Amino acid sequence: MKERTRLDTQISSVKALQSEMDDNLGLLELGEAEGDQSVVADAEKSLLTLKDEVAKRGIASLLSGEMDGNDAYLQINAGAGGTESCDWASMLFRMYMRWAEQRGFKLSLMDKQDGEVAGIKSATLEVSGENAYGWMKSESGVHRLVRISPFDSNARRHTSFVSVSVTPVIDENIDIKIEDKDLRVDTYRSQGAGGQHVNKTDSAVRLTHLPTGIVVACQNQRSQHQNRATAMNMLKAKLYEREMQMKQAEKDAAEAAKTDIAWGHQIRSYVLQPYQMVKDLRTGYETSDTQGVLDGDLDPFLEASLAQKLTDKADGKKVAYEDID
């Protein structure tokens, strides 16, 4: 039923675009026949808007991967830079929440560790919505911030790094076996505002997969049993994503996205000082609207990443975003 609803929505949207195009073409012909330039201008404006919408739908049609339609786990970890990086992690946390809310996605906080002075050391969100993983998967990597530090009394410029990891929420019918001997289970008290159970029992759970070193944690459920079950699902998702990355690496000899959270490994730079610019180092897309990006305007970056996959199979040339019909 979920798949049928998704397909019905896509078909209806295509039919609506076709109907809108036909209506505007009819208005255009009518305006030209009667010499009414205002009608012609309105029809042309609507057709240009429609062209942009069709181009975006063309980009979205690239979300055809096995897991692209799934929900996603978004994990943020502060890296090199101490308090600066913890503050930068909280800024990214806010940016992704804003972006998800603008798309109407549902957010669930799975785990959060506050920084010692400010910001957060790490956080994990579950993002639920149509093609959530497909849209967000390109965000995995190291994000670099350059700004005048609010924590430096001498107002010096600082560089901070934060890693972002996006993994799909896997379906229950995908069988991933995890042996008990390969797991280390740690329990601790949840962080929160308090309540009947919060902070009073060791209900939070951290799982470490010993063969791979993958660590996941969950503290948002009311019981240790629920937190463990959720953490196990997160671990399975990370193991699945790891396997997919390994297979992809074998295909194109590309190194997996996991790198040091430090200089030289960033996928995107956010420069707030001495000038304003956000630039993706993989696609080359950049904008000077840094505040808009930090407020959740990520779609141009995500679309550029998907558009990069459109290549001319004959000669390997990239197809520009504007060339999509």
Q: Taking residues 227-251, what's their average pLDDT?
A: 81
pLDDT at 320 over 50: no
Q: Taking residues 218-230, what's their average pLDDT?
A: 87
- Mean pLDDT is highest, among 40-54, 71-85, 268-282, for 268-282
pLDDT at 14 over 80: yes
pLDDT at 323 over 50: no
Q: How many CA atoms lie within 13 A of 127 on its CB side?
A: 31
Residues forming beta bridges with residue 270, ordered by sequence position = 145, 278
- 87-91, 147-151, 202-206: segment of lowest average pLDDT: 202-206
Q: What is the pLDDT of residue 120?
A: 94
Tokens for 13, please give them.
Answer: 């949207």
pLDDT category at 257 given cuts 50, 70, 90 is: very low
How far, in Å, are 41, 86, 100, 119, 220 from residue 145 at the CA level? 44, 12, 21, 14, 29
User: Of 215, 210, 190, 209, nearest to 200 (Cα)?
Assistant: 190
Supply the mean pLDDT for the chain.
Answer: 83
Q: What is the pLDDT of residue 177?
A: 80
pLDDT category at 258 given cuts 50, 70, 90 is: very low
| Sheet containing 120-128, strands listed edge to edge, beginning at the edge strand earlier in sequence | 106-114, 120-128, 72-78, 157-168, 141-148, 266-271, 277-280, 286-287
Q: What is the pLDDT of residue 319?
A: 43
Q: Taking residues 241-247, what's their average pLDDT?
A: 78
Number of H helices, E strands in the chain: 7, 11
Please give the full DSSP string across 219-249, using - where no structure is assigned. --SSSHHHHHHHHHHHHHHHHHHHHHHHHHH
Residues 173 and 151: their CA atoms lie apart, in Å, by 49
Q: Taking residues 170-174, what's their average pLDDT?
A: 65
Question: What global pTM score does this model have?
Answer: 0.68
pLDDT at 325 over 50: no
Alpha helices in 35-126 (DSSP H): 37-60, 83-102
Alpha helices in the chain (DSSP H): 2-34, 37-60, 83-102, 132-136, 224-252, 290-294, 299-307
Residues 246 and 256: their CA atoms lie apart, in Å, by 7
pLDDT at 194 over 60: no
